[in-house]
Structures are given as C-alpha cells and as structure tokens.
Structure 1
Amino acid sequence: MFPKQTLFFLCLLATSALATVFTSPAQLQGNQYDFIVVGSGTAGNIVAARLAESRNVRVLVIEAGRDNEGYQSELIKIPFLGPQASPKTSFDWNYTTVPQAALNNQAIPYPRGYVLGGSSSINYMVYTRCAVDDYDRFARVAGDDGWSWKKMVPYAIKQEKHVPPNDGHDETGQYDPSIHGTRGPLLTSLPGFSTDIDQRVLATTQELSAEFPFNLDINSGNPLGVGWMHSTVGNALRSSSATAYLQPALATRHNIDLLMNTQVTKLFQTGRSGGLPVFRGVEFGTGPGAPLFRLTASKEVILSAGAIGTPQILMLSGIGDPAELRSVGVTPVVSLPEVGKNLQDHPLVPIQWNANSTQTMDPILRDPAVFSAAMDEYNVNKTGRLANNGVSNHMSFFRLPRNSPILRRYGDPTAGPRSPHYELAFGNGFFTTSQPLPSSGSYVSIINVVVAPTSRGAITLASNSPWDHPLIDPKLLNSAYDLAVMVESVKAAKRFAAAHAWDGYITGPYADAVGTTTDAGIVDYIRKWGTTIKHPFCTAAVSKEPGKGVVDGKLLVKKLRGVRVVDASVFPFIPAGHPQAPVLIIAERAADVIKAAWNLH
C-alpha cells in the first residue's frame, strides 16, 4: 500500500499538463524555468504561486526539506501539537546557536522549518500584523511608499480568509470583522476552545484598565492592549503557506513545479550586464558526496530561504564580506559586507504560577490517557483542545511609560508610538520552551517577549561547505536596554497576576519564580530561562542608501543582477510582534513587484 504522501504526488504526476513534483534533482534534466524560487517557506510559496498565475511563465520551487504529509505529519497539522514540531524532529533544520553570553553562555536550539511551508508549518500559528509604524518605517528605509501600512493593508485583506472559531461560538466583541479578509487562501480564526482563565484575563483589563486596557483587535495597526489572539488555523487544521498557496497551485496549474529534498548550495554567475555580474544560476544537490546539478533562470532567482538560509547561500556564492569569505575559503565575487549581519530576534522568558484549577492544559501534556481522550474527540468531531492553538487565547502588547528611565537612558528603538516595547501572552497551563515540565500540579503562565530589541547578531559561515550549518549568534538580550525591558515585562506580568481577578486561582509563584521579587532576582531568572521565540530577521536588510544594506527597495540584491530576496531577512528592523503575518503580507506585494518588473499579467 502506498503512503498517503506518495499517493498525493502520484496523483499530481498523473494529472495531464499540471505541475510535477520532483523528488530527485536528476529528474530535472532539460527543464527550463523563468523563475527559480529557492525555499518553499512562509514567503517563497506565496511568491511562486502568485507568479504562476501568469500563464506565460514557468516557475520552479526548490525545497531542502521534506514534504508536509506522511510520517508524524499530525505534528504540523493538528493545531495544539504545533509546539512539538520542533526542535529535534524531521521538520526542523535543528540549528543551535553559539553560546549566548547574556543567557549564562547557553547554546540554545534554534528551530527553522525544514518542510514545505517552512516555518509557517512549525510555528505557533500566531497571526499579528504588527503596528502601522513598523510598515511605515520599512517603507522609509526602503525608499518605497509601497511598503507602507496604507499600501500593504489591501494585501493583508487579499490573502486572508477569516473563518468561524472551531467551537462555533459568537465572536461579537472579540474582533473587528471590517479589517479582516474573507476570501483569501490563508485561513485565520479566533480561539475555538475556551479556558477557565479567559474571563480572568478580561476581568483584569477592566480592573487594571489604565495599564492593561482591552483592545478589540490587535490586527488593526494599533496592537497596544490585551486582545483575543488570531491564529492561522481553520477547520481544525494549521493553515500554512504550503496548504494555502503551494499545494493548490501544484494541483491546478501547469507552469509551477516543485523539487523537494534538495538543497541549494550556491548561486553561480551567468554573465555580466551593465558592468555588474549576473547570478541567474542555481547549484543544488542532496547531500555531501552526492552529485551537484545546475539550472539557470531566464528571468530571476528569488531567494526565500529565510533569515539563516538566504545569507548562507549568498555567502557561499561569494557575495558578502570579502575578508570573512576568504577566511573560510570562499572566493569573493561581490562585496556586500552586511550579508548575514544585523540579525535580530525576539527574546522570550516564561514565568508561571501555581493554579487552583483542574481545567488547565497540564494533564494533557503528561497523562497519556487524557491525551488519548482528546485525540479521540479530535478525530471524531474535529473539536476540543487539540483543534485549538495550544499556546494562548489572549495576548497583549505594551509600551514603556513616556517617563521611563529606560527610555531616557537608552532612547526609544520602536518604529513609533503605536509600536510596542514588550508582549505578554497568557497560557492556561505550564507553557515553556526552555524549562523541564513539572510532573504534577496545575499552572498559569505568562510569556514575556521583548518585541523591539536593540541587540543585533550575525549569521556567518562555519566553512565553505554548504552542508555545514552556519554559525548563528542572535546575541539574545545582549544589550542593556533589552535586559532592562525584559525586567520591566516580568514586573508587568507580576502586576497582572496580582489583580483581584486572580484571587483564589493563583496560589503562588512556581519554583524559580519565587526569587523574582527584586530586579537582581528577575535578572538571574531571565539569564537562566531566557530563550528565543524563534523570530530571526534582518540578515539581508533593505536600504535605499548606497553602500548600506543588502537589497534595494524592490528587494533586488545590490551590486549584481538577477537575484531578489523575499523573506524575513529583508526587514531592516524586526517587526514588534509575532512576525509571521508581516512576512506573509510582504510576500504578497513582492509578487506584484516582480510581476510589474517583467510585465506579467
């Protein structure tokens, strides 16, 4: 009997004049493509699918990772199981950072999607568009008003299909339907499983409204306050760029092909034009010692390999800092010193309290019988806890007070007055990505995130081999400002949890959190349990300034021709929120930019 994914691909292959899914690069011999998209990730699938809407072009997508069907695929389909999709699974590149000085020199796992859909297939499915100011700053730095909030909102509406929550409850007062799309390919929804902390969170916004006000819709461009969380979940399943864009395109179009399980090793020069080198060639293979193959795009190569993969490929191609390239045996071809630099990420610190409850998610995480019962409900009815995002039903974003000594001392790095400094998200159970799970007890968690960090790290080559992971140094909480904001976030979380709404429910802090009564104690806690929320950005940043950045306002790589970058690496500053939505939205407009450049319809 054929596995499900094999049947899927055989059906595609058997469909007359439609897409072909290649599982070996040897199958590509003789094929010609106008566009080669490197990476079927969050952005790449959107660009590829939208370009394939133009019938007179041929598009190839090359993905290093696996398909999103088959072995253990329930981890990336069933919403509640999303946190289990990484690290140390076949869906993950399984990167590790260099030791992080601010986190007691811990080297931490650094998950990235190694699967169709990229990190949109393994993330926590949070959908936040972030602030007006974040887009407007992108537009200013890029020198292109087309990236501004006003110009980008139509793309957000175009790509979204808001669907009812899985439990069918009345959403009135939980979001603003006027700012959400209803006909796009990407499914989004509000929480479909109520928890016993929901009303306590909302009660706290009434009791402490001056500090923690309710926000009807944090996707309005003003995310400040506490609101219901949108997720890329629909019909009890994750909605990724693979399920929303790539797979429908493969199933209905003749001019888009997919090559899986094949890693791009570098780009190669195919000529010169206007005094600049042209890099429309792509080299790829399946692993060390395996044969390498080459293809040339007649129009463009589009790098969508993410904030780690894109700079790695550029540097292996001789595009980057010449001295650094020579140090690992790569011959420099194009001097772009900022390739791989300016890496930004959001640091995360969870904090928990003991809860007087039997309705938290804790039993499902440690009791096989409880999990099995939940799985049975999901399989039969597509309802229950497993059909819902397992992280949080509410999230919130806040700014430091205007008179904050932190701002007086370090300045304000945010994009503007609607852009937050930190985030609090509320978990009905013991949520963590860095701590061991307790074997008993019930808990409530608040996740703290510095969403406008100033720390900047780098991606550098470990060697000239494409099969060696690069050195990843996000420098989490490396700046005094970032650490100070995280301390303030933890203090805010403690004030939130001290509201009368939690009387009788929260019975005391959990374990190490007992020591967070002083700034010094909070810092010790942060250094022990701090980690990444898995949002690497800015390693091939846009800039309108000559001699700065990596790509121009049209996302074309500077000082050469034939290569465009469309992924999280092009952002000049990390968006102040969960950045899946900004990447999805940027990719939609990028596809139109490419179409306009080649007069495609």
Structure 2
Amino acid sequence: MALSVPLTFSLLASALFIAPVLARVHQHSSQLPVNKYDYIVVGAGAAGLGTSLLLASRRMVLAPSLFLRPALGIFDTAPSSLSILMTFFSDEGILAAQVPLLAPTLTPNYMSHHYGSSEDYDRLARITGDSGWSWNNMKQYIKRHEKIVPPADGHNTTGQYTPSLHGTNGVLPKSLPGYSVATDSRIIATTRELSSEFPFNQDITSGNVLGVTWVQSAIGGGKRSSSSTTYLASVKDRKNVDVLVNAQVTKLLRTGTVGGKPSFKGVQYAAAPGSPTQTAYAREEVILSAGSLGTPQILMLSGIGDKDELASHYITTVIENTSVGKNLSDHALLPNNWIVQGTESLDGLFRDQSALNSALVQWQANKTGPLVHGTVNHIGFFRLPSDAPIFETTSDPSSGPTASHYELIFSSYWLHPTLPSPANGSYMTICSALISPTSRGYLKLASADPFQTPLINPQYLSTAFDKYTLREAVKAAKRFTSGPAWADYILAPYGDLASTNTDADIDAYARKYTSTIFHPVGTAAMSAKDAGWGVVDPDFRLKGADGVRIVDASVWPFVPNAHTQGPVYLLAERAASIIAEPSKSNADLRGNLGFLNPRSR
C-alpha cells in the first residue's frame, strides 16, 4: 500500500533553513521588479543552494525551499547588474536548526558529512557513459566545497582523520566530534579487540568506506552548518538580491518548442492553497532542485511522467517518461537499543529540563558542551562475506569491493524513530542501516493539487537480499557489543532485541521497527543520453525537453555509500561547472576561472 507523507512531516520541513538577513525582502510577488530572469532555481537544499551560489559567479544565486513544498530562486546574468530573486519559507529563530544535538527534533539531515565510496562515482560514470562522474574527477570538488575546522572542544584530532584529504578554504565548515560521549573509547577499543571484523578506518574521505570511523559533521564553531547558513549566507550583503518570502512552485510552464522538444522556461507559483498563481520566466534555464520527493511531483504536475498516471488526475501529458517517480531507493534504518550502566549516556540530559537549560546557556555563551554533539560520534560501513549464502542466488549489488552492504551507527543515548524514549534508565543505540538495497519504491501524485503531498511506497525489504543483509547487520551489531570493551557497561539488550535469537526472530523484529534514514534518491534518475530509461542525461538535462535541468539527490540512480548530504554537495559542484562552462564540464572551473570563486570578488 502506498503511504501518504504525514502532514507533520511537511510542516516540520519548514524549519530546515536559518534565514540570514538578506537585502530587499518581499512579502508578495507584486513587489518584485520583474518576472523574467536568466535562470530560475526551484528548491534550495544542499543541491539548489550549492549550485546557485557557485553559479553566482555567472551572475546567479539562489533560493531556498521546502522538502515537499519547493520554493523558487531566480537569477539574472545581465553583465551590468545582478538581479536575484529568492523565495522560501523562513525558519529564522528556530533554535533546533542551529543546535546540533537538537537535530532529531526536526526532519533535516543529522549533519554526518562524507562522500561515499570511490566506486559509487565510478559506477555512475559507467552507467552514464560520462567519465566526468568518475572518482578521479569528482574528488577534486571536496576541497572546493568543505572547510575543515577544529572541533568545538578543541581536542587534538591527530589520528582521527587525514588532513590532506580535506579542504580548508571551502564554503561549508565541518569538523570532528566536539563533545566526547561514554561510548567513544569503547568503540575504538572494539576496533582493536575485534579488528578482523570491525577495523578502524581513519578517514573514509579516501573513497574506501569500510571500517569504523570518527564522524565528520557539518558543524562549525559548535553550530550546525547548512546550505542556508553557508552558501545562502554568502550572498546576504548583495544589494541586488531579491527575496520573496513564502511562495511555492506549483509546476513548470511550457514556453514553446526548441529543436523539436517542448521547452519549459517558466514556472508557476503561489503563496498558499487557493491563492492566485504567479509566473516567472527564464531566458536560459530552469534548474529543478526540489529533492527526491518534490522534483518528481513538480514534473508530473507539469505533464512529465507516465501518461496513464497523469491521465488519472486529468493532467495532459507533454513528455511521456515512465521513469519519473520510479526507482526510489533509500537506506532503510533499524535501531537496536541496549540498557547500560550508570548515568554517562545523554538520556538524562533530555529528561532533566534544568540540565538542558544549563546546557543551552553554555551553548549560547560559547558554543561548547553537550549540545554541540552531532547526534553520533562514530559510524561504520561493512560488507557481507564473499561466500555469504545470499550470493548463491543474488549478484552483489554494491558498487565494488571497497563499497559496503550495511552500516552501523552508534549513539550514546536512546535513538529510535518509532518508539518513545523510556521514562528512566540509560541507553546506547546501534542502528543497522541497509546501504546497498535492491528494493525499489515509487512516488505518485495523490491528486493534481500541488499543495497535496504525494503518495510514496518505498517498498523497504521487498527483496531477499535486503532482508538477508539487514538481518546480518543486526547480528553484526550484537557481535560488536559482545567485545570485552562492553562487559562493564552494557546490562542487557532492550525490548524485542532481547528476543532475536533466530533468523525468523530478527526478520519479524525488522518488519516491526524498520523505518528510514531519510536518504531517498533515484526518482529522476540519471542515465546515458541514449538510454531507454532515466529522467536526466549526464549533464543534468531533462530528457526530451529544452530549458530544464535537475540538480538534486533524485538524479542518483542508486543510493550511495554515504549519508547523502555530502554526495549531493559534490553533485551541485559539478552541476555548477557544467552549466557555467559546458565545454569544460570535466574540469574544475573554479580553479581557472576566477568568477567561479566567491572569494575572488
């Protein structure tokens, strides 16, 4: 059965951005000076904001949006002036979007910031037939994108990462954990005690993700680093930036035919359900960056998708493409909880309002203390044994031999998306996550109303491989906690985990508690230009159309070996290079064209 996204989910998404003070804020579209610009960017998460700031070099910058309610950004490339329109649902003053440890109270990413396996990118290059997607080309963007900074507690990070792999002058600050938790030393000890199965990996930015590693997080100076506080904030002083608050794109507008293809160089938007629609047009292109759920929804509302599905909502098909909204891939998440000794876990902090208030005072004063904790300090990526029985009937779906099948995510407190925290006691959590799933879901319109959230069926654990792998990931978590380092800390597994004694028990447990880590991709998949499937070409252009590119996680044809924030930023970096200078799409343009480096201005 297809699932409707809960209303609370889309409402919480409105708190994803910290809005900086920007020039010329407009409360209504009637205040805008013009309605035609060079570029329009729909959506402004990591991809939209990242792409647009990099394109600011070509007189373009961006606009924020909601996860399912994408707003719009419009950019002008006139040589004598820079006219930029940004529209978004502001979350100015939302404390939980600034304080790292409060991230789980919202729906955005949990700040883990890495890029995946080198073999993910090489696989994408093979799928698309474009060598520009290979790791050897894509890794150049890491140092352009990130700015590694000291952790909030200023501890010595020697041996916790490899400095040469990172950038120090990029746009987005990131750091190693800035607050030590009770499980840290025990996790590292286990990588020594059980090294054959759980080795330590100093830095997965190398492209080899296998092993347990210290988490690198999008946190700088004790504060959450988002695309809004970094890419967007960098344009706050521009006098020629127009900001339109609270507007939602409802569909792309067809503006003609170019080269036998329908051209979509316009957008329709509205302030709220039932309000009058407004239009804006692009001289060059519309860049759709509304995310893996928002992007296919807008495409289908615009008449781009499966003709039978569109006809069921009385939408005229302009481009028949059955891949739109299909191929949904995600990292399924299964939390495993243990009861632990003492009061060293962070559970007490969440229950004690006085302690939480004190921690908040400390954070506000100097951005230190428990609230700078980025929810996890360690993660680990692992493979099934090459002789695992599942490979007798299923080919290996991973990207390659240094890519993973599953992940373990370690938290020094109760973390469970589907169960409330117990009223007392101390806990630790190891989440098992499925990294190379073979299950594929889909997204469909619920109606032709752009303000109604779509129907989503992720079809988690619908294949034998996925069931087997998540089962083995639970077993791995249990073996990890059996090491000597945990003997004086763990009291017992919590709840149903204690009863997972057989494969059938684990499968039932997984069916009951598996949810999502919110890494959906693939609903507007990238493929080779001559492929009979897919939604975009390797240069992000919408297949069968003129004037539209898609730049967000939806174009990944498979989910990478990473929490998807990092890979999406790299995608945005390459998109900016391709759009700014198509003939040099495989080169780092910011290195040889000063106008692509915001620091050159």
2:378 counterpart of 1:394: yes
Q: Secondary structure at the match of 1:343?
A: coil
Partner of residue 74, structure 1: 95
Residue among 335, 341, 357 paired with 1:372:
357
String of CA shifts for 1:509-560, please: whole Å, max 9, x gaps.
1112111121111112111111000111000001113321000010100111
Contact residue 173 and residue 225 of structure 2 kept, 8 A = yes
Alignment equivalent of 2:46, drawn from 42, 46, 53: 42
Work out the CA distance in 2 between the residues paired with 1:317 and 1:299.
19
Query: Is 1:314 matched up with 2:318?
Result: no
- Compared CA separation, residues 598 and 144, structure 1 to 2 (3 A): closer
User: Residues of 1 paired with 2:131 and 2:25: CA distance?
Assistant: 38
Write the distance in 2 (CA, Å) between the matches of 1:342 and 1:296: 31
**Does 1:261 pair with 2:246?**
yes
Contact 1:39 1:62 in 2 (8 A): no
Q: Deviations over 1:254-301 (max 9, x none)?
A: 3x5433311111111111111111110100001221010011100000
- Indicate how the Cα distance of structure 1 residues 357 and 141 shifts in structure 2: closer, same or farther if over 3 A, else same: same
Which residue, 491, 511, 527 being the options, matches 2:511?
A: 527
Task: Please list the CA deviations of residues 416-444 of structure 1 after superposition, one character each: whole Å capped at 9, or x if unmatched.
Answer: 11110000011111111111110000111
Letter of the aligned partner of 2:164 in structure 1? S
Instruction: Extract unaligned runs of 5+ from structure 1.
Output: 14-19, 87-121
- Deviation at residue 59 of structure 1 after TM alignment: 6.5
Q: State the distance in 1 between where 2:462 and 2:342 align.
A: 38
Q: Does 1:26 align with 2:30?
A: yes
Task: Show CA shifts across 1:212-245 (max 9, x none).
Answer: 0000102210010001000000011111111110
Shift of 1:363: 0.4
Find the partner of 1:476 among 455, 460, 464. 460
Which digits, 9 at most, give the CA deviation of each residue in 1:90-140, with x for residues without a partner? xxxxxxxxxxxxxxxxxxxxxxxxxxxxxxxx2100112110000111112
Q: Does 1:549 align with 2:549?
A: no
Q: Which residue among 295, 301, 306 is the counterpart of 2:280?
A: 295
Comparing 464-473 and 295-304, the one that deviates more? 464-473
Residue type of the alignment partner of 2:96? L
| Structure 1 residue identity aligned to 2:22 | L
Q: Give the stretch that moved more between structures: 363-372 or 565-574.
A: 363-372
Report the TM-score when normalising by structure 2: 0.89
Letter in 2 for 1:81: L
Residue 127 (structure 1) aligns with: 113
Q: 1:362 to 1:268 in 2, by over 3 A?
A: same
> Equivalent of 2:451, from 451, 467, 482?
467
1:585 aligns with 2:570: yes
Q: Give yes or no for contact 1:9–1:21 (8 Å, CA) kept in 2.
A: no
Counterpart among 317, 329, 338 of residue 314 in structure 2: 329
Which residue pairs with 2:433 in the alignment? 449
Contact 1:460 1:470 in 2 (8 A): yes
CA contact (8 A) 1:277 1:561 kept: yes
SS at match of 1:583: helix
Residue 598 of structure 1: how far off its partner (Å): 9.3
Normalising by the residue count of structure 1, what TM-score does the alignment of the two structures yield?
Answer: 0.89
8 A Cα contact 1:450 1:486, kept in partner: yes
* Larger CA deviation: 138-147 vs 552-561: 138-147
Q: Which residue of 2 aligns with 1:144?
A: 130
CA contact (8 A) 2:35 2:281 kept: no
The letter for the 1-side match of 2:268 is E
Mapped contact 1:410–1:481 kept (Cα < 8 A): yes
In 2, Cα distance between equivalents of 1:571 and 1:150:
18
Q: 1:178 to 1:267 in 2, by over 3 A?
A: same
Query: Which position in structure 2 is the counterpart of 1:249?
Result: 235
CA distance in 2, matches of 1:418, 1:173: 21
Q: Structure 1 residue 380: deviation in Å?
A: 2.1
Tell me, yes or no, if the aligned pair for 1:196 and 1:359 is still in contact at 8 Å.
yes
Q: Which moved more, 1:473-482 or 1:227-236?
A: 473-482
Asked if 1 retains the 8 angstrom alpha-carbon contact of 2:394 and 2:465, the reply is: yes
Contact 1:38 1:62 survives alignment (8 Å): no
Look up the equivalent residue of 1:160 and give its one-letter code.
E
| 2:549 aligned to which of 557, 564, 567 | 564
How many pairs align? 549
Query: In the alignment, is the contact (CA less than 8 A) between 1:398 and 1:423 conserved in 2?
Result: yes
Q: Are the counterparts in 1 of residues 19 and 90 from structure 2 also a CA contact under 8 Å?
A: no
The structure 2 residue matched to 1:85, chosen from 106, 112, 115, is: 106
Question: Which residue of 386, 409, 412 maps to 1:428?
Answer: 412
Residue identity in the other structure for 1:381: N
Amino acid at match of 1:237: K
State the distance in 2 between where 1:253 and 1:482 align. Answer: 52
Task: Tell me the C-alpha RMSD between the 2 structures.
Answer: 1.8
**Alpha carbons 1:307, 1:568 under 8 Å: kept:** yes
Q: Where does residue 370 of structure 2 map in the other structure?
A: 385
Retained in 2: the 8 A contact 1:40–1:62?
A: no
From 162, 167, 171, the equivalent of 1:176 is 162
Asked if structure 1 preserves the Cα contact closer than 8 Å seen for 2:209 and 2:561, the reply is: no
Secondary structure of 1:365's match?
A: helix
Alpha carbons of structure 1 residues 31 and 598: separation in structure 2 relative to 1, 3 Å: farther
Structure 2 distance, partners of 1:60, 1:269, is: 22
Deviation (angstroms), 1:10 = 10
In the other structure, the counterpart of 1:286 is: 271
- Aligned counterparts of 2:334 and 2:478: Cα–Cα separation in 1: 13
Identity of aligned residues (%): 47
User: What SS is found at the alignment partner of 1:43?
Assistant: helix
Deviations 1:119-167 (A, max 9, x none): xxx2100112110000111112122111111111111110100000100
